[in-house]
Amino acid sequence: MKMNKRPKFLKFLVLVLLVALVLSACKPGTDNIGETQAALPEPVSTPAEILTVEIIETEQNTSEASPPGFIRQGAVFGVMDMYQAEEVATGGYDPAVPQCGDSWLASFSEDYGENVITLLYQTPVIPTEIELFTNSKPETIVRVELLNSFTGLAVFYDESQPPQWKQSAIQGACETSLKLEIETDIEVDTIFIEFTDLASASQLDAVELSGLLNWYTDPLIYWRVPLPDTPVDMVVNPMGEIFVAAGMNGLYKFDLEGNQLDKMPAPDQADVMSLEADISGNLFVADSAFGWLVVFDSEGIQTDAGGEGIFGHLGYNPADDNLYLLRGNTIEVYSTDAVALIRQIQLDDLHAYTKLTFDSGGRMFLLRDHDWDATLVEMDPLTGEELDAFPLVTSNQQDIVAKDLTVDAQGNFYILFSMNTGDIAVHMLDPRGSLIQRFGHLSYDAEGWTEGSFREPKAISVTPDGRFLIIIDGYEEQSYLSAFLLEIDE
């Protein structure tokens, strides 16, 4: 097995097929394979040479319980570029289908000698095995390559390092299963398989990729309680009290056990957009209907209101005790004592900004280009100058939508997603922007979803002690407030 590094694979047309995932806790191991770098164009092959392969005869495996974080998936896109042939060897193998492979490929009048099938997979995984379903002999396979299309890292099997296939007879139109065990720490989302001839390539029915989600964990869901209406925003104050905005004007207070403590008053015509709390436990409500900031104390009593034309997302800076309102490409800074506008910060017009938050030291972080090139950026809270950036996009295979962010007392980030390639709701990053763990399955089932999975998540907040991570999600009568119990390193 060899490794190489190549430039980013050209991004294909947006894929809309969503693959159901079976998720659970796992951190895959690593290997000691070295990495090299080389420029490489679209997949091409040298003249085909028949490999000397080792075939291990086995009986077909019986089903076993999948390990934590395990995914088995068929390709969502398959192509043979030289023949301009698409939908080749896509999906999983179905023994009920009366035909094995894509026999129509054999109808081409000429064999161009470059018989490479390129297969794309929706979810990048640390591969443990690939399984080919075919009527071809393993000796007709010239090359197997597993690629991360975003980083360019790849694993090769060819004539210098031939694959060791495990061959077994299977039921259905395809006679043979060929399994190849993989040992690598590279996340893979693309597979190239090269055959000696077109006829052999046409008999490949499916290639199922098995692997593990990198850094996936399964923290305990401490509780989940229903909300009376579609959630809008949520914040946890320094005392550990949870405030939730739901519907147009619903304001609710919960404790850390999930008990509703209060339903707070709000104007009948209010349109709550954002909630924030200061170090004293005061609650600030951005109401776009009246265009003002409404202030409540921790007991739910309104103490003040102010501002004009308020619209956007709030963030509280503990370093200067001010509120920061992100409004398009402008940040408006308000005092918390008199709810008065102090100054404005103008951001660049080249990007879109959606949410902002502050760490305990007053560093300001925003989500930039959340729905096409999602990035976590640090900005100077005085000038708006960009100080650092951490890309959140890790794959070319599916759109990514980052919804919200929060930061704990240790400077770790929690990014909430409503869409990404792994369908994982929460990514936890360390203060340097490196992924620590990810958890929480994204669901697209309108009929209901289990605890620990989320549909249309809206907001995320961490408690001051870092023990609980709170998330709101759902729509109308199917809306929830959930709490993860996080592990704390001693």
Report the candidate in 440, 447, 482, 473 with the shortest Cα–Cα distance to residue 230.
473
Q: State residue 30's pLDDT score.
A: 34
H or E element at residue 202: helix 198-202
Q: What is the pTM of this model?
A: 0.81
Give the C-alpha separation, 423 to 202, whole Å.
32
Q: Residue 110: which pLDDT band, with cuts at 50, 70 and 90?
A: confident
State the residue for tokens 């007392």: 409
Calculate what percentage of the chain has a pLDDT beyond 70: 86
**Residue 2, SS3 per DSSP:** strand
Q: Read off the pLDDT of residues 41-61 as tens digits, 9 standing for 90 and up.
A: 333 333 333 333 333 333 344
Task: Give Cβ neighbours of residue 23 (< 8 Å, ≥ 6 apart).
Answer: 69, 71, 213, 216, 218, 423, 424, 441
159 pLDDT more than 70: yes
Q: Is 389 left (phi over 0), alpha (psi -120 to 50) or beta?
A: beta
Classify residue 224 by burial, with Cβ atoms within 10 Å: 0-12, 13-18, 19+.
Answer: middle
The answer to whether 78 touches 117, Cβ cutoff 8 Å, is: yes
Q: Taking all residues of the chain, what is their mean pLDDT, rounded to a whole number?
A: 86
Report the candidate in 416, 401, 400, 421 with the shortest Cα–Cα distance to residue 124.
421
The DSSP code for 49 is: -
DSSP codes joined into one string, 409-473: TTS-EEEEEEE-TT-EEEEEE-TTS-EEEEEEEE---TT---TTEESS--EEEE-TTSSEEEEEE
Q: Which two tokens stand for residue 309?
A: 């034309």
CA atoms within 13 A on the CB side of 154: 24
User: Domains, the chain, ranges and CATH?
Assistant: 2-212 (no CATH), 220-485 (2.130.10.10)
Q: How far is CA 228 from CA 12, 136, 269, 300, 301, in A?
A: 42, 58, 18, 19, 22
- The total number of residues written for the chain in this structure: 490
Q: Which two tokens stand for residue 149?
A: 């299309």
The answer to whether 174 touches 205, Cβ cutoff 8 Å, is: yes
DSSP codes joined into one string, 291-357: TEEEEE-TTS-EEEEE-SS--SEEEEETTTTEEEEEETTEEEEEETTT--EEEEEEPPTTS-EEEEE
Q: Read off the pLDDT of residues 189-211 as tens digits, 9 standing for 90 and up.
A: 999 999 999 999 999 999 999 99
Report the candidate in 222, 160, 227 with the shortest Cα–Cα distance to residue 469.
222
Q: Which two tokens stand for residue 292?
A: 């003002």
332 pLDDT more than 60: yes
Q: State residue 427's pLDDT score.
A: 97
Q: Which two tokens stand for residue 200?
A: 């052999």
Beginning with the edge strand found earlier in the chain, give each strand of the sheet holding 330-335 in spatial order: 313-317, 322-327, 330-335, 341-346
- What angle is formed at CA 421 by the lines to CA 420 and CA 424, rounded to 5 degrees? 60
Q: State residue 113's pLDDT score.
A: 78
Q: State residue 49's pLDDT score.
A: 36
For residue 20, the tally of other CB atoms under 10 A from its CB is 11
Lowest mean pLDDT segment, chosen from 97-101, 279-283, 396-400: 396-400
